[in-house]
């Protein structure tokens, strides 16, 4: 596992379970290894079986929540993380992941509630502050979102997700130049991450740098053609003249 050879780890954990069927940690590690192999259906089965054997095992519910989340089964993920949180109410990772799952089903009020609990328990959790900021933004509370995302970046300056979302939030409150600097940093940290490239292209548009915006969209085209198409539409809407605006 530490060497990221998850396929080999999976087989070893299977053998460990054959040798000792009551090794709950082995079953948990098998499920985790399967998640890392992107075998989410198998992981869900492993964690579900583990829960049937040990119904008070918080990590098993958390594992089920993670596998379900990555499979796109967000309601199932919420249910699993809720059970994990009931057993371990002060587990910051569980609370944050529950907040993420609730965000995916657009239950922003409850999502924010769990992120608030997470940052109260761990004021140094950059990820919790970052996801809290994204939730606040989705709720239309943009100024609060900026503060939460700024806190995340202060705690972890290399967190590209927080920087990307911070740039979007800053733009929404009219701080376009500050947002542009943030988007540049996000792309510097993750040069091939399409959301960051997309938002940087839009940021160039916001500050009136038409030529560089066009160049940035061309770069995005090589990474994500669909996002590049979306950015190009915004570009043309901004610069294409309406004939009704042309005066003799």
Residue with the bigger pLDDT between 238 and 176: it is: 176
Question: In the structure, what pLDDT confidence band is assigned to residue 21 with cuts at 50, 70 and 90?
Answer: confident
Task: Report, as an integer, the average pLDDT of 235-241.
Answer: 81
153 within 8 A of 166, measured Cβ to Cβ: yes
Q: Residue 240: its pLDDT value, please?
A: 74
pLDDT at 76 over 80: yes
Q: If 0-12 CB within 10 Å is exposed, 13-18 middle and 19+ buried, where does residue 130 land?
A: buried
230 Cβ contact partners less than 8 Å away, ≥ 6 residues apart: 198
Task: Report, as an integer, the average pLDDT of 79-90.
Answer: 98
Question: In the structure, what pLDDT confidence band is assigned to residue 246 with cuts at 50, 70 and 90?
Answer: very low
206 Cβ contact partners less than 8 Å away, ≥ 6 residues apart: 171, 176, 179, 180
Tens digit of pLDDT for each residue in 97-114? 999 999 999 999 999 999
| CA-closest candidate to residue 17, choices 29, 8, 6 | 29
Q: What DSSP letter does each residue of 124-180 carry, written as one string?
A: T-HHHHHHHHHHHHHTT-HHHHHHHHHHHHHH-TT-HHHHHHHHHHHHHTT-HHHHH
Question: In the structure, what pLDDT confidence band is assigned to residue 157 with cuts at 50, 70 and 90?
Answer: very high
**CATH fourth-level superfamily of 146-241:** Tetratricopeptide repeat domain (1.25.40.10)
Task: Report, as an integer, the average pLDDT of 32-56.
Answer: 96
Task: Record the tokens describing residue 27, joined without a space.
Answer: 């079953």
pLDDT at 243 over 50: no
Q: Residue 6: its pLDDT value, please?
A: 79
What is the rounded CA–CA span in Å between residue 63 and residue 31?
7
pLDDT at 247 over 80: no
What is the rounded CA–CA span in Å between residue 211 and residue 36?
42
130 Cβ contact partners less than 8 Å away, ≥ 6 residues apart: 148, 149, 152, 159, 161, 162, 165
Q: Residue 9: its pLDDT value, please?
A: 87
Q: What are φ and ψ of residue 119, in 5° steps?
A: -75, -25
The domain segmentation of the chain, as residue ranges, is 1-122, 146-241
Q: Residue 187: its pLDDT value, please?
A: 97
Q: Residue 36: its pLDDT value, please?
A: 93
Q: Residue 248: its pLDDT value, please?
A: 47
94 within 8 A of 85, measured Cβ to Cβ: yes
Q: Residue 241: its pLDDT value, please?
A: 55
1-122 and 146-241 agree in CATH topology = yes
Q: What is the CATH number of domain 1-122?
A: 1.25.40.10
CA 126, 128, 131, 136 dihedral sign is: negative
Could you tell me the pTM of the whole model? 0.88
Query: What mean pLDDT, rounded, does the chain reach?
Result: 94
Q: Which residue has tokens 């070893």? A: 12
Residue with the bigger pLDDT between 28 and 7: it is: 28
Q: Residue 8: its pLDDT value, please?
A: 86
Tens digit of pLDDT for each residue in 193-231? 999 999 999 999 999 999 999 999 999 999 999 999 999
SS (H, E, C) 56-81: CCHHHHHHHHHHHHHHCCHHHHHHHH
Q: Residue 5: its pLDDT value, please?
A: 75
């Amino acid at each position: 596992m530490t060497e990221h050879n998850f396929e080999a780890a999976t087989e070893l954990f299977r053998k460990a379970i054959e040798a000792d069927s009551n090794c709950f940690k082995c079953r948990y590690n098998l499920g985790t290894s399967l998640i890392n192999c992107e075998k989410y259906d198998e992981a869900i089965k492993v964690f579900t079986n583990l829960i049937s054997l040990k119904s008070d095992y918080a990590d098993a519910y958390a594992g089920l929540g993670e596998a379900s989340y990555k499979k796109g089964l967000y309601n199932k993920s919420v249910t699993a993380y809720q059970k994990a949180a009931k057993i371990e109410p002060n587990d910051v990772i569980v609370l944050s992941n529950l907040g993420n799952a609730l965000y995916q089903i657009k239950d922003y009020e409850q999502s924010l509630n769990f992120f608030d609990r997470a940052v109260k328990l761990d004021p140094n959790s950059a990820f919790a502050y970052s996801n809290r900021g994204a939730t606040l933004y989705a709720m239309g509370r943009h100024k609060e979102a900026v503060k939460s995302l700024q806190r995340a970046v202060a705690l972890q300056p290399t967190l590209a997700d927080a920087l990307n979302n911070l740039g979007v939030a800053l733009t929404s409150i009219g701080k376009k130049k500050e947002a542009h600097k943030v988007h540049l940093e996000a792309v510097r940290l993750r040069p091939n991450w399409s959301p960051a490239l997309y938002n940087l292209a839009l940021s160039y548009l916001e500050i009136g740098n038409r030529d560089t915006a066009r160049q940035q969209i061309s770069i995005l085209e090589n990474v994500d053609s669909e996002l590049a198409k979306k950015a190009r539409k915004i570009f043309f809407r901004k610069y294409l003249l309406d004939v009704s605006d042309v005066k003799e």
